[in-house]
Structures are given as C-alpha cells and as structure tokens.
Structure 1
C-alpha cells in the first residue's frame, strides 16, 4: 500500500517511470512491413481516386442541372414574351368609330 503522504520526489519518480514505460512500449512495437505499407498506400490512393471521381460526377450533375434550369427559365421567358406579343391589342375608340362608319357606308352603298 502506498504511503498516505507522497513527497514531490515520489511523484516525479512515478511520472518518470510511467514516461519510460510508455516509451519502452512504443519502441517495442514492431515495424510495419514495407509490403503491407505499400498495399495500404495503394488502397488509400484507390479510395482517393474513387472519391475524386464521385466528386467530379456530382459536380457535373450540378452543372447539368444548372444548365437545364437556365434553359427552362429562358424557355419560360420566351413563352411569356410570345404570349405578350400574341395578345390582341383592343382597338381604340377612334378605330371602333372608323369601323362603324365603314360598315354604315357599305350598307348605304348597297341600298342605293
């Protein structure tokens, strides 16, 4: 059982021992086999390439959708302009009076 009162030296000693134990454990770890490291790197590169391809496909899809959206907006705008141009402008009062007078004159011409 450890004593009730630790001195500073005791604590520093235990800290040094723990540090040395961790260092020994790290040094005891076996080195990575170069073949295994190469396999891991190849797998990582393949994964990164696949992710880059997916990102590129996603970006292309976004761009395609943006172009389609822009084309749809342009078509809608063109349709609205065509509809506006096709609207029949109501005749003015002077035009209505001229048409009435022409009908009256034609009717008078047939009767005489």
Structure 2
C-alpha cells in the first residue's frame, strides 16, 4: 500500500486551514512594527541608504570639481592659443607695415633720382 494512514477529506482540509493560519500568523509577526528584529533591520537599511546617498553626493561633488578644473584648464589653454594668435597677427601686421614703409621709401628715392636726372638734363 502506498499510504499507510487514512487521510480523509476533513483531515486534509483541517490541516490546510491550520497551515494557512500558521503562515498568516508568521506573516503578521514578520510585519509587526514592534518586532525588535524588524526595527533593527529597518535601522540598518536606513543607515545603508544614508551611507549610499552620502557616497553619491561625494561622487557628484568630486565630478563637479573635476569638471570645473577641466573647464579652467581649457579656458587657460584657449587664452594661451588666443594670445599666440594675437601675437602672430601683430607680428604680421608689423611686417606688412615695414614692407609698405620700405616700398614708399624706395619710391621716394627713385622719384628723387628721376627728379635729379631731369634737373641735370634740363628738361
């Protein structure tokens, strides 16, 4: 025989009801707000959450500080590049003005030579 005991329907229903009641009581006990174990777990969970939030804020602060430092370095590099560009443009303008002045001086000397030659020839 497979089953040695005789479990009729009423016994099985009673056992199922008792099991459901026991499970419900265990659930109520686990969810009880005055349970010291649960209070300890809740306090521990709150502490972990607070620590996690503190670490997140610290990471954000470090990230913002790094971003600010990168922006400052980029601004300094941009300023240096702009200063170099300005110096090159100034040097180029200076060279252009010297070339123009030299060209004007050569023209003036040529014109003076031409005027002297005309004066000697008598025209």
Q: Distance in 1 between matches of 2:114 and 2:60?
A: 82
Q: Which residue of 2 aligns with 1:49?
A: 60
Per-residue CA deviation, residues 29-83 of structure 1 (Å, 9 max, x unaligned), is xx88111111111101100100000101111111111111111100100000000
What runs of 5+ residues in structure 2 fail to find an aligned partner?
1-40
Q: Quote the offset at 1:97 in angstroms.
A: 5.5
Alignment of 1:38 with 2:53, yes or no, is no
Determine which structure has more spread, i.e. the larger CA radius of gyration: 2
2:112 to 78, 94, 99: 99
- How far residue 91 of structure 1 moved from its aligned partner, in angstroms, is 2.5
Match of 1:63 among 53, 74, 78: 74
Task: Supply the distance in 2 between the matched residues of 1:62 and 1:44 (Cα, whole angstroms).
Answer: 27
Give the TM-score normalised by structure 2. Answer: 0.52
RCO higher in 1 or 2 (8 Å CA, sep ≥ 6)?
Answer: 2
When normalised by structure 1's length, the TM-score is 0.57
Task: Report the count of equivalent residues.
Answer: 77
CA distance in 1, matches of 2:76, 2:97: 31
Task: Kindly provide the CA deviation profile for residues 75-101 of structure 1, in whole angstroms up to 9, marking residues without a partner as x.
Answer: 100000000000022539xx7365233
Moved over 4 A (4+): 106-109
Gaps of 5+ in 1: 1-30
- CA RMSD, 1 decimal: 2.8
* Bigger share in helix: 2
